[in-house]
Amino acid sequence: MPASPIEGNAAGLPVVVMASANPDKVAEIALLMEDVVDIAPRPPEVPDVIEDADTLEGNARLKAVAISSATGRAAIADDTGLEIDHIDGAPGVYTARFAGEHATYADNVAKALEVLDGVPKAGRTARFRTVALLSRPDGSELVAHGVVEGTIAIEPRGESGFGYDPIFIPADSGGLTFAEMSADAKHRISHRGRAFRALRELL
């Protein structure tokens, strides 16, 4: 059965609802999907979705399906995990709450540095993994993935970005953390940039 069309705006761009209410993430995704879709914000009356799947793709699907069902429109969601090799790939699906259920960005960064305290550079390897998912009201979906390898810095560096950006050094950055890079430079090599470029191609 063919996928149902996505409702378009006056300029002919498909309109999709953003499942995330995180303003930092929404801003990044809107930039990455510019000129491909017209992103509508998640309605404020739609409650938060409980992300209790055991995979990134599962959590992205939970969010996108819930928002699509609530709005009757196609919805975009993503889920991202930081995988630190020294602790067997954790925090993974618990990345946003690594330091606790209501952890701040600073709390999570501090937790990551704590578990790697004293670990030399060679043992601080990690990767970010993003799953981007678009769900349509008819139940059809598009799924894309993005991964970036890197290491965890000894201490936070840089003022840009959000989340773990001050301590994640992507392999292709010349030694800069994400937080030390411009937005454009980050998006060219980031996990989220790669996932949403792949989703753009699928669209």
| Model confidence, pTM | 0.88
Q: What DSSP string runs through 142-169?
A: EEEEEEEEEEE-SS---SSSSTTTTTEE
Percent pLDDT > 90 in the chain is 79
User: Which CATH fold topology does 15-202 show?
Assistant: Maf protein (3.90.950)
- Residue 94 sits at φ, ψ, to 5 deg, of -100, 15
Average pLDDT, the chain: 92
Question: Mind telling me the catalytic residues?
Answer: 79
pLDDT tens track for 151-160: 999 999 999 9
Q: How far is CA 195 from the centre of its chain?
A: 9
End-to-end CA distance of the chain: 17
Q: Where are the domains of the chain?
A: 15-202
